[in-house]
Structure 1
Amino acid sequence: MECIVYFDVMHGDVVKELRGLIFLDEGKAPTEKDYLLMFEDMGYKLRLEDPNDLVFKPTEPSADLRQIRIRRVDTGEKNYKEDKELRSVVSGLLPNESRPI
């Protein structure tokens, strides 16, 4: 299964939006090792700084980038995420009681 990784590379104040590709077994999610191997294939030598936000920092002090942050991972599976703000607006517009016209 192909997994597309969308990430931001931060060079000083400049942010570049890039993509990478990881090949996984069906139904598996990418691991830290998968991300590090993908970045290594792209020429980046990184370590995972923040596992919650998937922020990677360079291992070499002479690197010209500040950090890489993964924005989104697309495994091809449909995922549903409820928009709570939209639900709040819609529920505020609809009447509380349904009554016949």
Structure 2
Amino acid sequence: MECIVHFEVVYPHENKELRGLIFLNEGEKPSERDFLDMFQSMGFKLRIEDREQLIFKPAEAGAAYSLIRIRSLDTGEKTYKEDQELRALLTHLLPGESRPL
């Protein structure tokens, strides 16, 4: 099974959104080692800074970036995500309570 990793590389003057790919067995979730290996193959030498938030910092001094943050994982499974903009639009357009004409 393929897992597409959406991540952000934080540079001093800009952030770049990138993607990586991890191959997993069916039903598995990526491990820290999977992430580190993926980043290593992309040329990023990292150490994990925050396991909860999936934030990685450079392992070597002098890196051009300050951190890498994993934004989302796409395993191809359907997930429900509420569209906040659509909800706000509908809430604004539809009356909150019914009133007589």
CA distance, structure 1, for counterparts of residue 23 and residue 39 of structure 2: 13
The sequence identity of aligned pairs, in percent, is 57
Matched residue count: 97
Aligned 1:1-101 pairs, distance under 5 A? 1-81=1-81
Q: Which runs of 4+ in 1 moved over 6 A?
A: 93-96
* TM-score normalised by structure 1 residue count: 0.80
- Secondary structure of 1:34 counterpart: helix
- Secondary structure of 1:39 counterpart: helix
Give me the CA root mean square deviation.
Answer: 2.2
* TM-score normalised by structure 2 residue count: 0.80
**Gaps in structure 2 of 5+ consecutive residues:** none
- Secondary structure of 2:73 counterpart: strand
Q: 1:90 to 1:36 in 2, by over 3 A?
A: same
Letter in 1 for 2:17: E
- Secondary structure of 1:26 counterpart: coil
Letter in 2 for 1:16: K
**Gaps in structure 1 of 5+ consecutive residues:** 97-101
